[in-house]
């Protein structure tokens, strides 16, 4: 008599050995990349392949940084420029968050709001800030308002579009499940749709602050006497490439640090992102 067939014992799958594409830390790679770029910069300038007018030596840029930090440079201290630029960028950014996110949510949930806000946003979004800077100066003068307004407009569009896109990420199953449990329309928006949209909104915030720093130099062209962008522009008028490079590095480092902060906020606020 033949033995009865036996059910094969399932082999446990070790999912921890498998990773999604792009997973894993890239800190070491980033550090090595930065070190190689600095080494290349040092080598090119030390060999004299590029004139200091076009690319100064790292030691010269570092010397200018020390002079600006210590207040010995023939200009305002770096801290004054830094604070002025930070106030302008983050005042515009937080104002954009407070206005663009509700507008984006309304555009994603209501066709009337979408019909009202979509044309002006899509019209001015591709325009470079320098194209409408003269108009802003004519309308609002040369005080702090036009500087903040220019950065605000640069931040507004990506934030509004990110919030609008995020409102479409909630699945119909989640929405129907909430309605079947007795949720109202407002509760569905607050407890189902908004949490689903939060990852997109946070990505929009990262993009918006990047646009804000990009627009900073253009904004500080408006009769500014202090600010990182003004420092760079003023140095370029006198062909002080070392100060220009130093200012560019400071702006880039500050923007990158804020981007790292936003990534940390993403991991804490939306830990489920990419795991659903």
pLDDT, tens only, 184-198 = 877 777 778 888 888
Tokens of 225: 């006497």
pLDDT, tens only, 212-226 = 888 888 888 777 788
Tokens of 63: 């010397």
Judge: domain 75-269, CATH 1.10.3720.10.
yes
What is the torsional sign of CA 224, 229, 158, 91?
negative
Tokens of 42: 């040092």
Alpha-helical regions (H) of the chain:
27-46, 58-70, 78-109, 111-124, 129-140, 144-166, 172-180, 185-188, 194-219, 228-237, 241-269
The C-alpha atoms of residue 220 and residue 213 are separated, in whole angstroms, by: 11
Residues in the chain: 276
Confidence (pTM): 0.79
pLDDT of 274 strictly over 80: no
pLDDT, tens only, 7-61 = 555 554 444 445 555 566 678 888 899 899 999 999 999 888 888 889 999 999 9
**C-alpha triplet 71, 75, 76: angle, nearest 5°:** 60
Q: What is the DSSP letter of 189?
A: I
The C-alpha atoms of residue 57 and residue 42 are separated, in whole angstroms, by: 6
Mutual orientation of helices 194-219 and 129-140 as an angle, nearest 10°? 80
């Amino acid at each position: 008599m033949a033995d009865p067939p036996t059910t094969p014992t399932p082999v446990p799958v070790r999912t921890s050995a498998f990773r999604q594409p792009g997973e894993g830390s890239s800190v070491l790679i980033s550090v090595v990349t930065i070190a190689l770029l600095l080494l290349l910069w040092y080598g090119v300038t030390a060999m004299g392949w590029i004139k200091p007018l076009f690319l100064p030596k790292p030691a010269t840029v570092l010397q200018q940084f020390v002079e600006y930090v210590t207040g010995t440079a023939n200009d305002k201290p770096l801290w004054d420029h830094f604070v002025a630029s930070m106030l302008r960028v983050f005042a515009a950014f937080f104002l954009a968050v407070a206005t663009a996110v509700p507008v984006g949510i309304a555009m994603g949930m209501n066709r009337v709001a979408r019909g009202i806000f979509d044309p002006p946003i899509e019209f001015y979004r591709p325009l470079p800030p320098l194209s409408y800077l003269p108009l802003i100066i004519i309308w609002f003068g040369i005080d702090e308002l036009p500087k903040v307004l220019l950065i605000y407009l640069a931040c507004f569009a990506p934030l509004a579009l990110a919030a609008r896109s995020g409102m479409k990420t909630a699945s119909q199953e989640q929405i129907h499940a909430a309605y079947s449990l007795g949720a109202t329309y407002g509760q569905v928006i607050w407890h189902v749709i908004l949490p689903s949209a939060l990852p997109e909104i946070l990505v929009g915030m990262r993009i918006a602050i990047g646009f804000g720093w990009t627009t900073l130099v253009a904004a500080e062209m408006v009769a500014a006497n202090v600010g990182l962008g003004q420092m760079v522009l003023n140095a370029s008028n006198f062909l002080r490439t070392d100060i220009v490079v130093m200012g560019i590095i400071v702006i880039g480092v500050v923007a990158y640090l804020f981007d790292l902060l936003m990534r940390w906020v993403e991991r804490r606020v939306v830990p489920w992102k990419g795991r659903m």
